[in-house]
């Protein structure tokens, strides 16, 4: 069966090894980015959206690193590569970045240089990846600026970024993202810093560009309303993992995870009368240092099952129509308990074996002295 996904992320874990302890920023991220479609990723602040996105391009800085999992990219030439196994500074990932996967951020100045003109910096990327001459690259930059509907594109090409308005900078960054015709554009809250009107204009632009370029878009936001406008599929993140993924229609109309249901109830535009108080999700997102055992959402969940949700880690369950959910309401609890107890026993046994081996090495070391 042909794989219709451009990117398949499986049980990805990205941890930060700090002096204070290990921050499990991404902890078992599983998601699928369909070819030529937009996947929205939504979650509260601190749920691991940005670290997850940066992991997909091997852009996590020390003390962070990918510790487990896979990121399979189906390439245009028919081959497949596991990005998680590539050297973050090696030539293979550098060839993918910008060319096959590009990223745009909330703050354009983090990816645009203040000391080069818009034309020079976008052009340089095209020269580098596509081997264009300066003149060819300049033509392509002008075409891109027109595609992102940059006002006065012919003048902007020779401007510096500080001379542009917020909305124009965002357009320049999008043009830079699109420069090498990537198969995947990752947009990390690209409109959050803009005023509401500019936000709507930029979202509309991204939607139209996705259609005309035919690329996949992974659109990250903390706002479910934006997902409804832009995405075909949605992945809901909580504390470093995806708790529910499916088509926007299915997830919005038949949410299966209590966290998704809480998120949907907390936004005003989806069928709530104005006067009714919005239901905020109770409690705070726990810091990744203090992740609760069992289901990470159990201390906030309205459907918490004592003795179950605080003891068992919800496995990924596949529902109908390509939907996935991580909630024990959808699992066979006895089966999960038996499996996890077996696994814990095997881990205890392995640890005991290792400790015994170390003791025996220590003893031999002592004897040889
Ligand atoms: N450089 C870092 N060192 C330690 N922890 C980090 C670092 N970067 C991010 N984190 C932690 O990882 C978690 C996820 O962060 P992030 O991906 O930025 O969340 P989001 O984008 O969903 O708001 C947060 O708890 C954050 O504090
Ligand atoms: S596993 Fe339990 S605590 Fe977690 S979301 Fe489901 S019902 Fe709530
Ligand atoms: Mg973020």
C-alpha 49 to ligand 3 mean position (Å): 5
Mean pLDDT of 304-327: 94
Residues 6+ apart with CB under 8 A from 250: 321, 323
- Cα 94 to Cα 50: distance, rounded to the nearest angstrom: 19
Using the predicted structure, report yes or no on whether residue 110 has a pLDDT greater than 90: no
CA triple 337-22-88, angle to 5 deg: 105
Nearest atom, ligand 1, residue 43 CA: 22
85-99, 275-289, 344-358: range with lowest mean pLDDT: 275-289
Confidence of residue 274 (pLDDT cuts 50, 70, 90): very low
Using the predicted structure, report yes or no on whether residue 271 has a pLDDT greater than 90: no
Question: What are the tokens at 190?
Answer: 């690209």
Confirm or reject: Cβ of 296 under 6 Å from ligand 2.
no
- Write down the pLDDT at residue 2: 47
Q: Which fold has domain 1-100+182-308+315-331?
A: Rossmann fold (3.40.50)
Nearest atom, ligand 2, residue 258 CA: 5
Confidence of residue 268 (pLDDT cuts 50, 70, 90): low
Between the CA of residue 244 and those of 84, 146, 237, 261, what are the distances in Å? 23, 38, 7, 11
Confirm or reject: Cβ of 23 under 6 Å from ligand 1.
yes
User: pLDDT tens digits for 185-220?
Assistant: 999 998 888 888 888 888 999 999 999 889 999 999
Ligand 2: residue of 309, 312, 337 to mutate (most ligand atoms within 8 A of CB) is 309
Ligand with smallest separation from the Cα of 314: 2
Each domain of the chain, given as residue ranges in start order, spans: 1-100+182-308+315-331, 334-369
- Write down the pLDDT at residue 273: 46
- Write down the pLDDT at residue 364: 67
Using the predicted structure, report yes or no on whether residue 160 has a pLDDT greater than 50: yes
Nearest atom, ligand 2, residue 328 CA: 1
């Amino acid at each position: 069966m042909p794989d219709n996904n451009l990117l398949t992320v499986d049980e990805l874990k990205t941890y930060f090894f700090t002096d204070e302890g290990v921050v499990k920023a991404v902890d078992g991220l599983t998601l699928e980015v369909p070819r030529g479609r937009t996947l929205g990723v939504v979650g509260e602040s601190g749920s691991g959206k940005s670290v997850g996105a940066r992991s997909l391009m091997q852009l996590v800085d020390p003390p962070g690193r990918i510790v487990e999992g896979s990121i399979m990219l189906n390439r245009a030439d028919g081959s497949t590569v596991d990005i998680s196994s590539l050297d973050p500074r090696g030539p293979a990932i550098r060839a993918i970045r910008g060319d096959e996967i590009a990223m745009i951020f909330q703050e354009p100045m983090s990816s645009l240089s203040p000391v080069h003109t818009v034309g020079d910096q976008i052009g340089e990327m095209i020269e580098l990846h596509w081997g264009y001459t300066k003149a060819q690259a300049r033509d392509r930059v002008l075409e891109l600026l027109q595609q992102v509907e940059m006002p006065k594109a012919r003048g902007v090409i020779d401007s510096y970024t500080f001379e542009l308005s917020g909305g124009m900078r965002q357009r320049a960054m999008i043009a830079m993202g699109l420069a090498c015709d990537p198969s995947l554009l990752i947009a990390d809250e690209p409109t959050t810093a803009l005023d509401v009107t500019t936000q709507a204009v930029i979202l509309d632009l991204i939607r139209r560009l996705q259609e005309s370029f035919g690329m996949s878009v992974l659109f990250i936001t903390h706002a479910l309303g934006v997902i409804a406008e832009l995405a075909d599929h949605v992945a809901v993140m909580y504390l470093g993992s995806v708790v529910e993924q499916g088509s926007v229609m299915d997830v919005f109309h038949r949410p299966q995870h209590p966290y998704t249901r809480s998120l949907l109830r907390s936004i005003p535009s989806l069928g709530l009368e104005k006067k009714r108080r919005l239901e905020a999700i109770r409690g705070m997102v726990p810091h990744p240092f203090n992740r609760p055992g069992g289901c990470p959402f159990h201390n906030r969940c309205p459907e918490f099952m004592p003795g179950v949700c605080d003891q068992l880690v919800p496995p990924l369950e596949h529902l109908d129509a390509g939907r996935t959910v991580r909630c024990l309401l959808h699992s066979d609890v006895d089966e999960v308990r038996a499996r996890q107890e077996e696994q814990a026993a095997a881990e205890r046994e392995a640890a005991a074996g290792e400790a015994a081996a170390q003791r025996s090495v220590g003893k031999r070391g002592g004897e040889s002295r």
